[in-house]
Amino acid sequence: MNWKNQVVLVTGGTGSFGKKLTRILLEEYQPRKIIIFSRDELKQHEMRVAGYEHPSLRYFIGDVRDRERLVRAMHGVDIVVHAAALKQVPACEYNPMEAIKTNIMGTSNVVEGALDAGVKKVLALSTDKAVNPVNLYGATKLAAEKLVVQSNAYAAGTSTRYSCVRYGNVVGSRGSVVPLFLKQRASGKVTVTDERMTRFWLSLEQGVHFVINCIGQMEGGEVFVPKIPSTKVIDLAHAIAPEARVEIIGIRPGEKLHEALISEDEARSAIELKDLFVVQPAEASWFGYSWKDKGKPLPDGYHYSSDNNASWLDVAGIKEFIAPFEADLLAGKLAG
Q: What is the pLDDT of residues 145-155, one digit of tens each?
A: 999 999 998 88
Give 184-212 as a DSSP string: HHTTTEEEES-TT-EEEEE-HHHHHHHHH
Q: Nearest 5 degrees, angle CA 36-CA 38-CA 39?
A: 150
Cα 195 to Cα 251: distance, rounded to the nearest angstrom: 10
By the 8 A CB rule, do 230 and 200 touch? yes
- pLDDT at position 332 is 62
Cα 57 to Cα 46: distance, rounded to the nearest angstrom: 14
Three-state DSSP state, 60: strand
Three-state DSSP state, 101: helix
- pLDDT at position 334 is 52
Tell me which DSSP letter residue 312 carries: B
Cα 133 to Cα 135: distance, rounded to the nearest angstrom: 6
Tell me which DSSP letter residue 251 carries: P
Catalytic residue, chosen from 19, 20, 87, 129, is 129
Phi first, then psi, for residue 153 (nearest 5°) are -65, -40
> Splitting the chain (336 residues) into consecutive groups of 10 residues, what average pLDDT does each group show?
95 96 97 97 96 96 97 97 94 96 98 97 97 96 97 89 94 76 90 94 94 96 96 93 93 90 95 95 68 89 96 91 75 54
- pLDDT at position 287 is 62
* Known catalytic membership, residue 129: yes
28: exposed, middle or buried (Cβ count in 10 Å: 0-12, 13-18, 19+): exposed
Q: Where are the domains of the chain?
A: 3-330
Cα 197 to Cα 43: distance, rounded to the nearest angstrom: 34
Three-state DSSP state, 15: coil
Pairing of strands 276-279, 223-226: antiparallel
| Spatial CA neighbour of 8 closest among 81, 112, 116 | 81
Cα 138 to Cα 156: distance, rounded to the nearest angstrom: 28
Q: Nearest 5 degrees, angle CA 260-CA 261-CA 266?
A: 100
Three-state DSSP state, 305: strand
Cα 211 to Cα 217: distance, rounded to the nearest angstrom: 10
Which CATH superfamily, name and number, covers 3-330? NAD(P)-binding Rossmann-like Domain (3.40.50.720)
